[in-house]
Every structure is written in C-alpha cells, then in structure tokens.
Amino acid sequence: MIDKDIIAEATEQLVAQNKEKVLEIANKVIADGGDPMELMNQAFIPGINKVGDLFGRGQLFLPELMVAADAMQAATDVINAALAAKGGQQEKKSKVMLATVKGDVHDIGKCIVVSLMRANGITVFDLGRDVDTDTIVEQAIKEDVDIIGTSALLTTTMGQQKNLEQALKSAGLRDKFKTMVGGAPVTGRWAARIGADAYAEDAQDGVVKVKELLSA
C-alpha cells in the first residue's frame, strides 16, 4: 500500500499541473517498490478527472488542461515503463488490437490499457489515436487478432464505435472478431446498444474482459 499522504500529494500536484513534482513522486514511488497501478488508479486518475471537472465547469481553461494532460502523460509513461519491466509471459493465443477512434486524440487511458494488457501476457497491436474505421478493420484482418478494442473520450466520437460494428457486419466479418469498447463516456448500455461484445470500465477490467471473451 502506498502511503495515503503520498497519494494525496500526487493528486494535488497533477491538479496543480506541476509536471516536475508529478514525475518526482511517480519515480520515487516506483523506486520504493510501490504498485504502479495503485498509483495510477488512486492518485493520477482521480487527479486528471478533477482537472476534467474543473475544465467542464469553466474553472480551468484549455491551456491549463493541456499542461495537466502533459503531466499526466509523463506520469503514465513512468507507470507504463514500470509495468513493462514487470514483464508478462506472452501467450500468443490472445491478440488484441486497440485504437482511439477517428476524431479523438485522447489516448492516455488507451495507452494504460495497452500496457496493462501487455503486462498480463496479451499480445497487443496499438494503432494509436484518431484512427479511422477502415484502418482498424484492415489492420485487424492483417494481424489476425481475436479482439478489437476501441477507446472514445468524446460524446461526439462514440458513434465511431458503432460505425465499426456496422463496418464489420457489412464486410461479413462480425463473427471473426470480438469487440470491446471503453472510454470515460462509454457504458455497458452503450456497448449493448451498438452490439459490442464487451465494455470495460478501466484497464484492469479490460484484462478481465479479454480473458472472458476468449474463454467464451
């Protein structure tokens, strides 16, 4: 367990957009043997969510959101490197393709999902962000993946997840791949409505859902 004062300090420094402090705390916690996902889930995700709320309420503006996002990205890089160092036996059976959908550049959460899946031995093809449906389908065929996971952080880009379901159906490929959706505005109801096979609330849940989908 990471000390709760350190957790509180990490959250506070991220909300204060202090990248230097955020990095210092992240590096120290990892060096001291702290759990990288605990730090992410207990400190940095609540911190960036608070930043998002302040932005949504007009109490913080885009330049500040961008500085906070940069600090969050830097913290995520430290966490992801720590997860990668932990390794994970690559069991070639499960192959997942992940992408943030077209029109959406939010990729911090998707990158955490990529790292945690890899740390759990899942082979992940990361297509990055702002990826159009045709590219996702083409690459999924090329890499012969089992699951396609998409991330959407904007209410205006969630529709791309529905487009993917439709594109797979009209290409006669819907049964070839399982699909999984995630992102802050995405819900289990949305997944059910568009016909996706699974919804994951966070990276840990994503790993669980991959295992469930592949054993189904």
Cα separation, 52 vs 59, whole angstroms: 10
- 122, 182, 191, 213: residue in contact with ligand B12 (rule CB under 6 A): 182
Q: Which CB sits closer to ligand B12, 150 or 172?
A: 150
Q: Which CB sits closer to ligand B12, 2 or 68?
A: 68
CB of 215 to ligand B12, least distance (A): 17
DSSP characters over 96-155: EEEEEBTT----HHHHHHHHHHHHTT-EEEE--SSB-HHHHHHHHHHHT-SEEEEE--ST
CB of 24 to ligand B12, least distance (A): 20
- Is residue 208 at the binding interface for ligand B12, with CB under 6 A as the rule? no
Cα separation, 164 vs 102, whole angstroms: 11
DSSP class of residue 177 equals -
CB of 188 to ligand B12, least distance (A): 12
Cα separation, 26 vs 83, whole angstroms: 13
Separate counts of helices (H) and strands (E) for the chain: 10, 5
- Is residue 164 at the binding interface for ligand B12, with CB under 6 A as the rule? no
CB of 176 to ligand B12, least distance (A): 18
Which residues of the chain form contacts with ligand B12 (CB under 6 A)?
A: 45, 48-49, 51-52, 55-56, 62, 65-66, 69, 72-73, 98, 103-110, 112-113, 149-151, 153-156, 180, 182-184, 200, 202-203, 206
